């Protein structure tokens, strides 16, 4: 699915719409909140100020260049550096986050394995993992905290073609999750692979991996819960993005992190993934997910339905319960989602509409309001809020 969508979005990007400056102007002091949005049509990152009273966006009159065909953006844990994954040039662009919310690009991009499709940071911000499809591999890059410095440590070959990557905090270290829709021998794979990560950032596939999911998995998310007065756990959610068997759904897994009646000592050692119920139905072609800062609510972007689905996470079992309302509308062709650290505001980039939708989120119920929408640069893709 990822290749089809990327091809479609590239066509849309030919429109090359110019940027509409909303409330333009730079500020001498940093805004209370900032949203960074990639433009695939203009090969830039734009900066929006977030009004923390109502979640409304206003453009900071500043953009920074990216590489070719940028896909995703993330911030390091300090919030002082940003990284953009460029699929077309097989690079990562690094940026210093300035006090006024603008970005300053590092002098040169960092090469990664050819045709990268996704990236994720470990829990401490020490390593950046990039999955690539041309010669399937995981690229491991060392990160210097708070800095734009990146160093490619190693490239780990894969036997399956990756579509997404996520990191989860296990009981003894980080765990890496990589989805795939085919392997190098057969046409179809539809799995999620699980790896342990050692102190040097090296991933090792665990016994029992890979695990079967629905058709054409497009995104993974690892969520750790720690409820007050109860037992929590590590849960993995995989978005199945096609209409085939188990498609247009979320596969849910609970990871064995403690020995009990369900998980043996060996299961804990291998972080065994246990399916939780049947896949949960969402909209058409789910493509991206995020959670609120308390890991209570899960939000899923449905590309072909142009909606966001919302769920409450059972902190003990990982079971998902639909919110009220269960879905809200987005603009055309949503591809990415991000939540502000307050948990009050959710943002979606609408690649087909060249806009960003902003939602107010009730921190008690998870309910999403009717969105406000602002025009963005052409073909917005990855975005991240802080």
Contact status, residue 5 vs residue 333, Cβ threshold 8 Å = no
* Least-confidence region, from 32-36, 60-64, 88-92, 261-265: 60-64
DSSP for 143-202, written as a single string: E-TTSS-EEEEEEEE-SEEEEEEEEEE-SSSEEEEEEEEEESSSS---EEEEEEE-TT--
Q: How far apart are CA 62 and CA 35, in angstroms?
A: 12
pLDDT tier at 2, thresholds 50, 70, 90: very low
pLDDT for the residue 370: 86
Q: For residue 357, give every residue at least 6 positions away whose Cβ sits within 8 Å of its Cβ, in sequence order, or none.
A: 330, 331, 334, 347, 348, 350, 371, 372, 373
Give the highest mean pLDDT range of 51-60, 218-227, 285-294.
285-294
Nearest to 274 by CA among 264, 282, 284, 283: 264
Residues 6+ apart with CB under 8 A from 178: 131, 138, 158, 160, 162, 164, 165, 192, 193, 195, 220
- What's the rounded Cα separation, in Å, for the pair 293 and 14? 36
User: Kind and range of the H or E element at 2?
Assistant: helix 2-12
340-367 average pLDDT score:
97
For residue 11, what pLDDT is reported? 34
Mean pLDDT over each residue of the chain, to the nearest integer = 90
Task: Determine the Cα–Cα distance for residues 204 and 249; give it in Å rounded to an integer.
Answer: 28
Kindly report the pTM of this predicted structure: 0.91
CB 96, CB 104: distance < 8 Å: yes
Does the structure show a pLDDT above 80 at 116? Answer: yes
Judge whether 307 and 287 are in contact, CB under 8 Å.
no
Q: What is the pLDDT of residue 331?
A: 97
Provide mean pLDDT across the span 269-283: 96
Count of C-beta atoms within a 10 Å radius of residue 30:
15
Residue 6 host element (H or E): helix 2-12
What is the C-alpha separation between 173 and 204, in angstroms, rounded?
A: 12
pLDDT, average across residues 5-25: 36
Q: Is the pLDDT of residue 132 over 50?
A: yes
**C-alpha–C-alpha distance, residues 109 and 316, integer Å:** 43
Structural contact between residues 48 and 58, judged by C-beta atoms closer than 8 angstroms = yes
- Output 256-264 pairs: Cβ under 8 A, ≥24 positions apart: 257/170, 257/171, 257/233, 258/171
First and final C-alpha spacing in the chain: 30
pLDDT at 245: 77
- pLDDT band of 368, cuts 50, 70, 90: very high
Query: 10 Å Cβ neighbour count for 281?
Result: 13
Q: State residue 125's pLDDT score.
A: 92
pLDDT at 227: 66
Position 243 scores a pLDDT of: 75
Report yes or no: 234 and 253 within 8 Å, Cβ to Cβ.
no
| pLDDT band, residue 222 (cuts 50/70/90) | very high
Q: How far apart are CA 214 and CA 226, in angstroms?
A: 28
Gap between the Cα atoms of 152 and 131, Å rounded: 13
> What is the tens place of the pLDDT at every residue in 171-209?
889 999 999 998 877 778 899 999 999 999 999 999 999
CA 87 to chain centre: 15
């Amino acid at each position: 699915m990822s290749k089809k969508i990327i091809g479609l979005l590239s066509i849309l990007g030919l429109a090359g719409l110019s940027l509409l400056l909303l409330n333009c102007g730079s500020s001498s002091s940093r805004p209370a909140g900032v949203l960074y949005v990639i433009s695939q049509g203009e090969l830039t990152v734009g900066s929006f100020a977030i009004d923390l009273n109502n979640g409304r966006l206003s453009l900071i009159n500043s953009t920074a260049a990216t590489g070719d065909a940028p896909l995703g953006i993330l911030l390091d844990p300090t919030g002082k550096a940003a990284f953009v994954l460029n699929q077309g040039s097989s690079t990562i662009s690094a940026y210093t986050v300035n006090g006024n919310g603008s970005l300053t690009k590092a002098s040169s991009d960092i090469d990664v394995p050819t045709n990268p499709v996704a990236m994720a940071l470990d829990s401490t911000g020490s390593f950046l993992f990039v999955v690539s499809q041309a010669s399937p591999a995981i690229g491991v890059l060392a990160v210097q905290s708070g800095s734009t410095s990146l160093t490619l440590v190693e490239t780990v070959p894969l036997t399956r073609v990756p579509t997404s990557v996520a990191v989860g905090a296990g009981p003894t270290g980080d765990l890496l999750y990589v989805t795939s829709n085919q392997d190098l021998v057969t046409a179809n794979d539809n799995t999620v692979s699980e790896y342990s990560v050692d102190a040097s950032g090296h991933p090792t596939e665990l016994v029992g991996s890979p695990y079967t999911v629905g058709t054409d998995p497009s995104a993974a998310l690892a969520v750790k819960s720690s409820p007050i007065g109860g037992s929590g756990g590590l849960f993995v959610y995989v978005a199945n993005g096609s209409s085939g068997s188990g498609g247009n759904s979320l596969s849910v897994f609970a990871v064995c992190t403690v020995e009990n009646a369900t998980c043996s000592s060996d299961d804990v050692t291998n972080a065994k993934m246990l399916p939780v119920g049947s896949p949960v139905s969402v909209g058409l072609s789910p493509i991206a997910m995020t959670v609120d800062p308390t890991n209570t609510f899960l939000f899923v972007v449905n590309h072909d339905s142009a909606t966001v689905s919302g769920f409450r996470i059972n902190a003990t079992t990982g079971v998902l319960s639909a919110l009220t309302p269960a879905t809200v509308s987005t603009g055309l062709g949503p591809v990415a989602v991000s939540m502000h650290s307050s948990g009050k505001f959710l943002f979606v980039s609408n690649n087909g509409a060249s806009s960003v939708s902003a939602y107010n989120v009730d921190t008690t119920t998870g309910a999403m309001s009717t969105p406000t929408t602002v025009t963005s640069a052409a073909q917005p893709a990855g975005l991240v809020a802080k």
